[in-house]
């Protein structure tokens, strides 16, 4: 858990570095997240940070009461998230910024105080606290890239992507289940890390192998790039389906 929490803390710091220099125009700039301004993205992160903290503290029922239950309401997770952002009202960028900063402090403290194996609720069902922490890292990273893109700032890949790539690999079966597809069988990732080393996930004899830049794989899994527009390659019986379905989100 310590390594994931530290990665999440570093990712928060990177985003904070972008936002600390924001002016009035920046807050109203549209991000790479379709239809959302920089402020809207930060509202969403603050709301989901609060949801994570509530989960860790045994207050998940309060999240369902506020956000609703997607399955019961007939709404997707994305639709619920969008509605939550709309309900927050048009708060000023600086106000949302202060709110988001406090939610990160609370969330990080919650993860630090929680056993990594503890099962906690989330929008897709119970999961280990470490997995929830990794999903928060993944979402914070992808929205950092959204905001950076809107502000015209380049964000360099870091070693933090290891945790996100591992999450992508570990949730392949979930991704296929969400799409109502047959299980793909064993899959192996062979990824070029930002420092030039190779990250490997999966068994040596896995029949389906995905290879390429870790950064591109994480962007594709976060729906910020199409696999066809990257240098990712895949071979084996489930090659095309894995590139199509892999994900880092609920």
Residue 28 banded pLDDT, cuts 50, 70, 90: very high
Q: Say how far apart CA 213 and CA 120 lie, in whole Å.
A: 32
DSSP secondary structure, the chain, as one string: -HHHHHHHHHHHHHHHHHHTT--HHHHTSB-SSTT-BHHHHHHHHHHHHHHHHHHHTT-HHHHHHHH--HHHHT--HHHHHHHHHHHT----HHHHHHHHHHHHHHHHHHHHTS-TT-EE--TTS-EEHHHHHHHHHHHHHHHHHHHHHHHT------TTHHHHHHHHHHTHHHHHHHTT------EEEEEE-TTS-EEEES-TT-SEEEEEEHHHHHHHHTTSS-GGGSS-EEESTTHHHHHHH--S--
Q: 157-199 pLDDT, tens per residue?
A: 999 999 999 999 999 999 999 999 999 999 999 999 999 999 9
Residue with tokens 């207050």: 59
Residue 134 banded pLDDT, cuts 50, 70, 90: very high
Check pLDDT > 70 for residue 125.
yes
What is residue 76's predicted lDDT score, i.e. its pLDDT? 74
What is residue 65's predicted lDDT score, i.e. its pLDDT? 86
Residue 245 banded pLDDT, cuts 50, 70, 90: very high
Q: Residue 57, class by beta-carbon neighbours within 10 Å (0-12 exposed, 13-18 middle, 19+ buried)?
A: middle
- Give the distance between the most distant pair of CA atoms in the chain: 54
Average of per-residue pLDDT across 204-213: 98
Instruction: Confirm if 93 and 39 have CB atoms less than 8 A apart.
Output: yes
Tokens at residue 17, please? Answer: 């570095």
Q: Say how far apart CA 2 and CA 46 lie, in whole Å.
A: 22
Check pLDDT > 80 for residue 89.
no
2-151 and 161-245: same fold?
A: no
What is residue 119's predicted lDDT score, i.e. its pLDDT? 97
What is residue 84's predicted lDDT score, i.e. its pLDDT? 79
Strand partners, 213: 192
Q: 50-72 pLDDT, tens per residue?
A: 999 999 999 999 998 877 665 45
Residue 49 banded pLDDT, cuts 50, 70, 90: very high
Domain boundaries, given as residue ranges, for the chain: 2-151, 161-245
Q: Residue 128, class by beta-carbon neighbours within 10 Å (0-12 exposed, 13-18 middle, 19+ buried)?
A: middle
Q: Residue 158, class by beta-carbon neighbours within 10 Å (0-12 exposed, 13-18 middle, 19+ buried)?
A: middle
Check pLDDT > 70 for residue 95.
yes
What is residue 69's predicted lDDT score, i.e. its pLDDT? 67
The CATH code for residues 2-151 is 1.20.120.450
Check pLDDT > 90 for residue 96.
yes
CATH 3.30.1050 fits 161-245, yes or no: yes
Q: What percent of the chain has pLDDT over 90?
A: 86
Average of per-residue pLDDT across 200-208: 98
Average of per-residue pLDDT across 18-28: 96
């Amino acid at each position: 858990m310590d390594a994931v929490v530290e990665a999440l803390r570093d990712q928060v710091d990177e985003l904070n570095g972008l936002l600390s220099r924001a002016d009035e125009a920046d807050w109203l700039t549209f991000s790479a997240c379709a239809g959302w301004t920089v402020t809207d993205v930060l509202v969403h992160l603050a709301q989901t940070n609060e949801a994570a903290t509530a989960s860790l503290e045994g207050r998940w029922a309060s999240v369902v009461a506020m956000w609703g239950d997607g399955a019961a309401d007939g709404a997707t997770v994305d639709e619920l998230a969008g509605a939550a952002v709309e309900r927050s009202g048009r708060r000023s960028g600086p106000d949302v910024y202060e709110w988001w900063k406090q939610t990160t402090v609370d969330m990080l403290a919650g993860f630090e105080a929680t056993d990594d194996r503890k099962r906690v609720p989330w929008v897709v069902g119970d999961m280990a606290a470490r997995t929830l922490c990794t999903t928060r890292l993944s979402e914070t990273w992808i929205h950092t890239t959204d905001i950076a893109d809107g502000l015209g700032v380049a964000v360099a890949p870091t070693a933090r992507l290891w945790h996100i790539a591992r999450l992508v690999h570990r949730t392949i079966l979930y991704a296929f289940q969400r799409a109502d597809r047959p299980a793909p069988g064993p899959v192996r990732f062979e990824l070029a890390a930002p420092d030039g080393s190779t990250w490997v996930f999966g068994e040596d004899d896995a029949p389906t192998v995905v290879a390429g830049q870790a950064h591109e794989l994480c962007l594709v899994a976060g729906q910020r790039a199409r696999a066809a527009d990257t240098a990712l390659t895949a071979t084996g019986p489930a090659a095309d389906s894995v590139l199509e379905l892999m994900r880092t989100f609920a």
